[in-house]
Amino acid sequence: MTRAVVVGAGITGACVTYHLARLGVRVHCLDTGQGSRGENTSAVSFARLSAFQQPTATRFRLAAAGIAEHRRLAGTLAPAAWWHPGGSMAWGLPDLTEHTERLRSWGYRVRWTDAAHAGSALDPGVRFTDPRAPVAVLPDEGWVDAPTLIGVLLAAAGDTGRATVEVARATTVVLRDGRVAGVRCADGREVQADAVVNAAGPGAATLAASAGAPLDSALADRSSLVADLLTSARPPRHVLRGPTLHVRGAGRGRLRVRSDQVDTSLAAGVPVPELVEDLLVRVRRMLPRATDATVARAVVATAVFPRRGHPCAGALPAVPGYHELVTNSGVTLGPLIGRLVAEELVTGQTDPLLYDCRPQDARVRTTSGRSPSPVPPS
């Protein structure tokens, strides 16, 4: 039986751990404990299920398949308390019509309405500044409570009797005779394995370097201020993608919010307390019933992702036994690419959906020394 170590128990590591265990692999998942403290990227993510932002047909297809995979997973692991498939609404964005119609031409379900109808019938409580503004309703979108999903996946992996999860920092991928033999931990222990899956998110580049497979110049990062608010107002039914604010429910009496404009100010160095106030002003404008909103938590969350846009997912042939799973939009894509990476590890066969995601392609440099095109944000 194959033994694998998965480094990272964020959404990507939890998905691959679950699928490896399901496929009969003895799997040991190591995590620094950031996840259980609610501090990893997955826990602070906006965590929208979406294919809306994808710029090319190939990446759109992957994201749409990712949303479909969530539906399947919710059926397999029912009741799916983490899954909130309520749809989303987008309005007031530059090039909204052109962009949305392109998505529709690729097969995405889109309904158009106007702000007056959206604010009275679809999501009462949302204030739109212009009642005639076109609103795109995207019924297949939603959001995920990622920490809950991660917990369910790791528990289901444990139930197979083949998976263990441990709080430990992996420092080095151990190689013997040119192939993976395991992982060394910060306490000096070696966990032996035939395969390693690097799903360490922000820690992925350090671990890759220890395997002789540098990844840092292939990665980019982006920071965003994400706030969880408490309010007596009902959360919106849809995930809201408005011109000044993104909002979703986050459980009873809770909202999660972020704003592209606020993130621009964050990058320009405006102090975080000022930006939190700015977010609250935007919330009260868009959701007038949430005037009592108070901040439960505000964090600057940083996403680390492959610069070229495609996920970095699968085996790296130069280092036999070494596999990688580092991605943008990891909440949307985690269950799908976690399954595909696990299947590739077990069968040696690569699913066509991963053809553009090969780890060796993420490492291709231009003559300027950088990886190819920069990546748009998730």
Ligand X SMILES: Cc1cc2nc3c(=O)[nH]c(=O)nc-3n(C[C@H](O)[C@H](O)[C@H](O)COP(=O)(O)OP(=O)(O)OC[C@H]3O[C@@H](n4cnc5c(N)ncnc54)[C@H](O)[C@@H]3O)c2cc1C
Residues that bind ligand X (CB under 6 A): 7-13, 30-32, 34-35, 40-42, 45-48, 169-170, 199-203, 207, 224, 226, 301-303, 327-332, 378
CA–CA gap between residue 260 and residue 222 (Å, rounded): 11
Shortest Cβ distance from residue 178 to ligand X (Å)?
Answer: 22
Shortest Cβ distance from residue 332 to ligand X (Å)?
Answer: 4
SS3 299: strand
CA–CA gap between residue 337 and residue 330 (Å, rounded): 9
User: Tokens in use for 151?
Assistant: 């917990």
CA–CA gap between residue 152 and residue 137 (Å, rounded): 30
SS3 311: coil
> Of 119 and 200, which has the nearer Cβ to ligand X?
200
Q: In the chain, where do the E strands start and end?
A: 3-7, 26-31, 48-49, 83-84, 88-91, 111-114, 134-138, 142-144, 163-167, 170-176, 179-185, 190-192, 195-198, 219-230, 239-241, 246-249, 254-258, 294-306, 312-315, 322-326
SS3 110: coil
> Of 332 and 371, which has the nearer Cβ to ligand X?
332
> Of 11 and 119, which has the nearer Cβ to ligand X?
11
> Of 119 and 143, which has the nearer Cβ to ligand X?
143
Shortest Cβ distance from residue 368 to ligand X (Å)?
Answer: 26
> Of 96 and 116, which has the nearer Cβ to ligand X?
96
Where do we find the tokens 């459980």? 251
Shortest Cβ distance from residue 3 to ligand X (Å)?
Answer: 17
Shortest Cβ distance from residue 125 to ligand X (Å)?
Answer: 22
Shortest Cβ distance from residue 334 to ligand X (Å)?
Answer: 7
> Of 11 and 275, which has the nearer Cβ to ligand X?
11
- Exposure string (b/e) for 153-173, b if CB count within 10 Å is 16 or more? bbebbbebebbbbeebbbebb
Shortest Cβ distance from residue 103 to ligand X (Å)?
Answer: 16
> Of 42 and 100, which has the nearer Cβ to ligand X?
42
Assess contact for 13 and 196: CB atoms under 8 A. no
